[in-house]
């Protein structure tokens, strides 16, 4: 803030040595008398331009109409009617302040309406605080002026730039736009606007891609307008400049060929359309203006009585400037409400005070002070009324009006009389953007009715596209036409995706198929150098690559897997069925059977008929047989007869239940592990060196090599370098390598459809994404991202995955049979054979006498046959 007391010596010099020339407006309005109270109006001088006559003439007319209307209502201050004076301001803020000081030195000015420009308000506002009078602007919108602590005497009836930025942000949300470029004039109005828009956009995840400054002194734009706009991603331009400068900027845009149909321009003020050549109408069609308006234009209440009476006064005293009620400049209505706010507040304090207009008795403007300033500011803060622009109400801690803020979006369209501004959307504090009327139609640049995306379009643009052969992402196939001529066609996930994008976006692809042994990092460098416009392939997005190029959003969710040869040998373990239990458990089980058998013999020997009739040895063996049968859960051919025997049997049943369940579970687990045994089981075995690093295949100069060096070898290139995906399969099959790490997509496809003798082990790891590669800061990147997202939402990616990654032509052992292999149970069957042989030998031993008698009879019969003649 400026310190105004430092100007006192300067003002003294100016008042003494310079001729003071204050430009008063010469009209047919009644002349101001020597009333002891008056309001001062500050209005920007644009009278030298016919195109801006509304800005120059309408606000002063409504300001005077408000004061004359107060005289008609006989609203007096200390018994006198309120009068006025007006000053035409220029770009010279020091001259404006000098003119104010001269008037203040000789009159009782109790309030100021204006100024028009924000840069003037930064000077006049603090001056008002110094002399104790309110300054109510009808046009200054700089958001810095909202600070009540910095500007205690300042008010405004026009919405601040922060409100305009809020409406603009919601307009972007309405049309799903995400970024813009701002051109602004280099003063408080432009700087405040660009700050407000940038802050609001950043807080709502919108982007201000660039800002360009327009120098109001040299009437030039910073930088090459065509180059900056044409090479930028956004196609929405926000022009934050007053009409006088906005017209100059639009003329430069015409010469630079950056208007419609490619660019959407949104202006903060309307510009005269009559100054443009008729042949340029097609380029101006579709432009917009976002302007603050009064309440009746958005069906909000306004004081129509005051408005009608003010118009009558205007037509009475200056009919030649009255344009008709529908064409009055909105800022003129804000000026009326600013004056009416001061009139009502002054009237209120004078009702309660007999000397309400007292000033300190000095002629020097900086030393004059309105003695009832506190009462006047309090009255303004508490005053609420329905004005001609809407509800007028202020709070003590803010300079902006509460509610009553309205905006209209106007669209330049062609009519029978030429180009015209047509209201299409309206906005208010309480109701966000909606159609201005049910019949409102927006005409976009190029004459289309469809809202543009807001970024550079690819329609009709030719792109040089690199693709790399990698199944199933991109593959070659031969197709024949009706004449039998063969041509090579690309098929796969990526060619299908590219065709979907081409049909939606309308670009022209020039495809270059690079060899499969071409390095992926080499493709990145070639895009960065401009050899290709984009790469559509299975290129993994990494941080290092992002430093050189840009990527689209993910087109395939990627991860890494390990591929190895299928295991072809299974080791034979004759005692594998014993492994579920340790040796200690088996010995304990044997001891338990003998121990239980001894107890059964002890308990049942005298009571059990079966045991009693046997010898001691036989009874003991039968008792052990009982305990073994009970433990195995198969039962025996006799039952216990004593209570102690039954209790012991319950214990054997419990032991049997647990042992059989544990044995079954452990045996199944062991057999499953044996069935799925591979050389390695996952990435942890790679890290631990279970196989030599020199027998691990890695594609050189790829993101997989980056992962290996970072996560496994600590920067050492101790792997076996392969040239491409195809080389991985060849080296595995000829046993040059034992394992390889590769992207999951190609591996799953090739092991399911082509290489049935190769398999994947372990779970996937190092999850990442595959994206389309673009040059850095490419202007078409946003268009691709939006269309890729649209394909994802419509289910295209799911369709492509089902088409190219689901299915299987290789047999899967796990799905064909779950039977245990004979090798796993060979020992069990051998044990059974041995036991059966022992049983046979026992049988023969018990039948040895009968067998001996049989053979003796046979030998005797043979002897008799020999002796007979």
For residue 277, the model assigns a pLDDT of 73
Beta strands, E only, 224-381: 236-240, 264-267, 288-293
For residues 102 and 750, what is the distance between their CA atoms, to the nearest angstrom?
91
- pTM for the full model? 0.68
Is residue 857 within a helix (H) or strand (E), and if so which, with residue range?
helix 848-867
Per-residue confidence (pLDDT) for residue 154, from 0 to 100:
97
Domain boundary among the residues 644, 675, 706 is at 675
80 in a structural domain? yes
- CATH number of the domain to which 792 belongs: 3.40.190.10
Query: Which residue has better confidence, 148 or 279?
Result: 148
pLDDT bin (cut points 50, 70, 90) of residue 847 is: low
Q: What confidence category does residue 568 fall into, taking pLDDT thresholds of 50, 70 and 90? A: low
Does residue 64 register a pLDDT over 70? yes
Output the pLDDT for position 554.
93
289 and 420 assigned to the same domain: yes
Task: Check if the beta carbon of residue 563 is closer than 8 Å to that of residue 747.
Answer: yes
Q: So what's the pLDDT on residue 9?
A: 44
**Is 860 a residue whose pLDDT tops 60?**
yes
**Residue 657: CATH number of its domain:** 1.10.287.70
**76 and 185 inside one domain:** no
Mean pLDDT lowest for which of 448-457, 691-700, 703-712, 829-838?
829-838
Range of the domain at 104: 4-16+33-160+305-393
- The C-alpha atoms of residue 73 and residue 81 are separated, in whole angstroms, by 10
Task: Mark whether 265 and 205 lie in a shared domain.
Answer: yes
> How far apart (Å, rounded) are the C-alpha atoms in residues 795 and 648?
67
Residues 419 and 270 in one domain: yes
In this structure, of 31-45, 178-192, 811-825, the range with the lowest mean pLDDT score is 811-825
pLDDT class of 865 with cuts at 50, 70, 90: low
Query: Does residue 431 form part of some domain?
Result: yes
Given pLDDT bands bounded at 50, 70 and 90, which one contains residue 135?
A: very high
Cα–Cα distance measured from residue 98 to residue 19, given in angstroms and rounded to the nearest whole number: 11
- Select from 802, 810, 703 the least CA-distant residue to 493: 802
Q: Band of the pLDDT at 24, cuts 50, 70, 90?
A: very low
pLDDT at 820 over 90: no
In this prediction, residue 33 carries a pLDDT of 62
Q: Per the domain annotation, does 814 fall within a domain? A: yes
For residues 578 and 775, the answer to whether their CB atoms sit within 8 Å is no
Q: For residues 137-164, give the mean pLDDT.
A: 95
12 inside domain: yes
Give domain status of residue 369, yes or no.
yes
Task: Name which of 395-399, 465-469, 667-671 the model is least confident about.
Answer: 667-671
Residues facing residue 185 across a β-bridge: 214
Would you place residue 812 in the very low, low, confident or very high pLDDT band (cuts 50, 70, 90)?
Answer: low
Residues 6+ apart with CB under 8 A from 311: 65, 322, 325, 328
Average pLDDT over residues 768-790: 92
Please check the confidence at residue 113 and state whether its pLDDT lies above 80. Answer: yes
452 located within any domain: no
Q: Are residues 388 and 243 part of one domain?
A: no
DSSP per residue over 700-731, as a string?
Answer: TTSHHHHHHHHHTSTT---SEEESSHHHHHHH
Q: Mark whether 184 and 239 lie in a shared domain.
A: yes
What pLDDT shows up at residue 546?
Answer: 93
The number of distinct structural domains making up the chain is: 5
pLDDT at 631: 74
pLDDT (mean) for 823-851: 53
465-513 residue pLDDT tens: 999 988 889 999 888 777 777 788 899 999 999 999 999 999 999 999 9
pLDDT given for residue 263 in this prediction: 93
Does position 25 have pLDDT exceeding 50, yes or no?
A: no
Confidence (pLDDT) at 821: 42
Asked if residue 289 belongs to a domain, the reply is yes
3-state secondary structure of 206: coil
Task: State the average pLDDT for the chain.
Answer: 85
All residues at 6 or more sequence positions from 744 whose CB lies less than 8 Å from its CB, including other chains: 558, 559, 560, 561, 764
Mean pLDDT score, 362-371: 85
Indicate the pLDDT class of residue 7, thresholds 50, 70 and 90.
Answer: very low
pLDDT over 90 percentage in the chain: 49
Mean pLDDT of 721-732: 88
Instruction: Measure CA of the first residue to CA of the last residue in the chain; give whole Å.
Output: 156
Q: When comparing pLDDT for 812 and 546, which is higher?
A: 546
Average of per-residue pLDDT across 235-256: 93
Mean pLDDT computed over 843-866: 72
pLDDT at 358 over 70: yes
Whether 509 and 623 map to the same domain: the answer is no
Residues 155 and 176 in one domain: no
Percent of the chain with pLDDT over 70: 87
For residue 793, the model assigns a pLDDT of: 93
At 53 the pLDDT is 63
**Neighbouring residues of 807: CB distance < 8 A, sequence distance ≥ 6:** 752, 753
Bridge partners of 513? Answer: 467
Mean pLDDT lowest among 25-39, 174-188, 347-361: 25-39
Residue 702 lies in a domain: no
Lowest mean pLDDT among 74-83, 149-158, 343-352, 844-853: 844-853
Q: What is the CA radius of gyration of the chain?
A: 48
Domain identity same for 418 and 291 = yes
Q: What is the mean pLDDT of residues 169-176?
A: 95
- Which of 321-335, 626-640, 814-828 is predicted least confidently? 814-828
- Of 633, 640, 626, 622, nearest in space to 655 by CA: 633
Same domain, 170 and 274: yes
What tokens appear for 691 in the block?
A: 């196989």
Tens of pLDDT, residues 191-214 = 999 999 999 999 999 999 999 999
Residue 566's pLDDT is what?
Answer: 82
The verdict on 858 and 788 lying in the same domain is no
281 and 421 co-located in one domain: yes
| pLDDT, tens only, 587-605 | 877 877 787 777 777 777 7
Which CATH number characterizes residue 293's domain? 3.40.50.2300
With cut-offs at 50, 70 and 90, classify the pLDDT of residue 834.
Answer: low
* pLDDT score at 495: 96
Q: 847 or 763: whose pLDDT is higher?
A: 763
Angle between helices 53-72 and 330-351 (to 10 degrees): 30
pLDDT digits (tens, 9 = 90+) for 406-424: 999 999 998 877 889 999 9
């Amino acid at each position: 803030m400026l310190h105004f007391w430092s100007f006192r010596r300067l003002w003294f010099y100016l008042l003494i040595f310079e001729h003071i020339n204050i430009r008063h407006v010469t009209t047919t309005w009644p002349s101001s008398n020597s009333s002891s109270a008056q309001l001062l109006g500050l209005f920007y001088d644009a009278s030298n331009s016919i195109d801006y006559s509304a800005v120059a003439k309408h606000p002063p007319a409504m300001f005077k109409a408000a004061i004359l209307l107060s005289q008609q209502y006989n609203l007096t201050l200390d018994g006198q009617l309120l009068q006025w004076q007006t000053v035409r301001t220029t770009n010279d803020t020091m001259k404006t302040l000098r003119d104010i000081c001269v008037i203040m030195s000789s009159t009782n000015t109790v309030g100021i309406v204006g100024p028009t420009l924000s840069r003037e308000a930064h000077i006049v506002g603090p001056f008002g605080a110094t002399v104790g009078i309110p300054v109510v602007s009808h046009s200054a919108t700089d958001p810095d002026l909202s600070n009540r602590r910095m500007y205690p005497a300042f008010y405004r009836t026009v919405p601040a730039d922060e409100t305009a930025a809020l409406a603009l942000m919601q307009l972007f949300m309405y049309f799903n736009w995400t970024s813009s470029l701002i051109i602004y004039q280099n003063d408080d109005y432009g700087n405040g606007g660009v700050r407000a828009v940038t802050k609001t956009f950043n807080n709502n995840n919108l982007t201000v891609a660039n800002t360009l400054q327009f120098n109001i002194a040299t009437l030039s734009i910073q930088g090459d307008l065509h180059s900056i706009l044409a090479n930028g991603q956004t196609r929405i331009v926000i022009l934050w400049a007053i009409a006088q400068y906005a017209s100059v900027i639009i003329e430069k845009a015409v010469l630079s060929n950056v208007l419609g149909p490619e660019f959407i321009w949104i202006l903060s003020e309307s510009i005269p359309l009559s100054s443009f050549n008729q042949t340029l109408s097609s380029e101006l069609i579709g432009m917009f203006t976002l302007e603050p308006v009064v309440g009746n234009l958005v069906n909000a209440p306004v004081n129509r009585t005051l408005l009608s009476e003010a118009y009558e006064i205007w037509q009475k005293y200056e009919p030649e400037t009255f344009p008709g009620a529908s064409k009055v400049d909105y800022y003129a209505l804000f000026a009326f409400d600013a004056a009416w706010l001061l009139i009502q507040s002054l009237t209120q304090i004078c009702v309660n005070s007999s000397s309400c207009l007292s000033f300190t008795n000095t002629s020097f403007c900086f030393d004059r002070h309105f003695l009832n300033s506190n009462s006047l500011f309090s009255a303004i803060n508490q005053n609420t009324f329905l004005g001609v622009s809407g509800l007028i109400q202020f709070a003590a801690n803010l300079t902006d009006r509460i509610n009553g803020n309205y905006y209209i979006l106007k669209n330049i369209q062609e009519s029978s009389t030429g180009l015209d501004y047509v209201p299409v959307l309206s906005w208010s504090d309480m109701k966000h953007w909606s159609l201005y009327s049910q019949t409102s139609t927006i005409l976009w640049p190029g004459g289309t009715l469809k809202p543009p995306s807001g970024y550079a379009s690819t329609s009709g643009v030719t792109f040089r596209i690199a693709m790399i052969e990698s199944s199933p992402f991109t593959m070659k196939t031969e197709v024949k036409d009706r004449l039998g001529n063969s041509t090579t066609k690309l098929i796969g996930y990526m060619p299908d995706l590219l065709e979907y994008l081409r049909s939606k976006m309308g670009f022209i692809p020039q495809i270059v198929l690079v060899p499969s042994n071409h390095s992926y990092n080499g493709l990145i460098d070639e895009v960065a150098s401009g050899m290709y416009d984009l790469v559509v392939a299975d290129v993994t997005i990494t941080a290092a690559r992002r430093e050189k190029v840009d990527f689209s959003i993910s087109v395939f969710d990627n991860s890494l897997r390990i591929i190895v040869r299928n295991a072809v040998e299974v080791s034979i373990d004759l005692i594998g069925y014993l492994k579920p239990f340790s040796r200690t458990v088996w010995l304990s089980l044997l001891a338990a059977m003998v121990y239980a058998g001894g107890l059964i013999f002890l308990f049942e020997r005298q009571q059990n008929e079966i045991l009693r009739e046997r010898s001691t040895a036989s009874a003991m063996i039968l008792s052990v047989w009982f305990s073994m049968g009970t433990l195995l859960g198969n039962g025996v051919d006799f039952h216990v007869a004593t209570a102690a025997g039954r209790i012991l049997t319950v214990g054997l049943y419990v032991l049997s239940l647990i042992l059989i369940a544990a044995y079954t579970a452990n045996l199944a687990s062991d057999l499953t592990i044996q069935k799925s045994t591979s050389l390695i089981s996952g990435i942890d075995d790679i890290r631990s060196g279970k196989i030599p690093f020199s027998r691990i295949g890695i594609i050189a100069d790829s993101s997989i090599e980056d992962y290996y060096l970072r996560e496994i070898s600590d920067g050492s290139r101790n792997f076996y370098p392969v040239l491409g995906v195809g080389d991985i399969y060849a080296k595995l099959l000829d046993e040059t390598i034992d394992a390889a790490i590769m992207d999951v997509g190609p591996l799953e496809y090739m092991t399911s459809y082509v290489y049935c003798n190769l398999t994947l082990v372990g779970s996937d790891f190092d999850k990442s994404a595959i994206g389309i590669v673009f040059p850095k800061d490419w202007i078409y990147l946003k268009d691709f991202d939006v269309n890729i997202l649209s394909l994802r939402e419509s289910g295209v990616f799911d369709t492509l995955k089902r088409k190219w990654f689901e299915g299987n032509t290789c047999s899967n052992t796990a799905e064909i049979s779950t039977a245990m292999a004979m090798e796993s149970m060979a020992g069990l069957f051998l044990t059974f054979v041995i036991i059966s042989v022992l049983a046979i030998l026992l049988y023969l031993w018990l039948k040895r006498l009968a067998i001996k008698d049989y053979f003796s009879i046979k030998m005797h019969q043979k002897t008799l046959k020999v002796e007979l003649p």
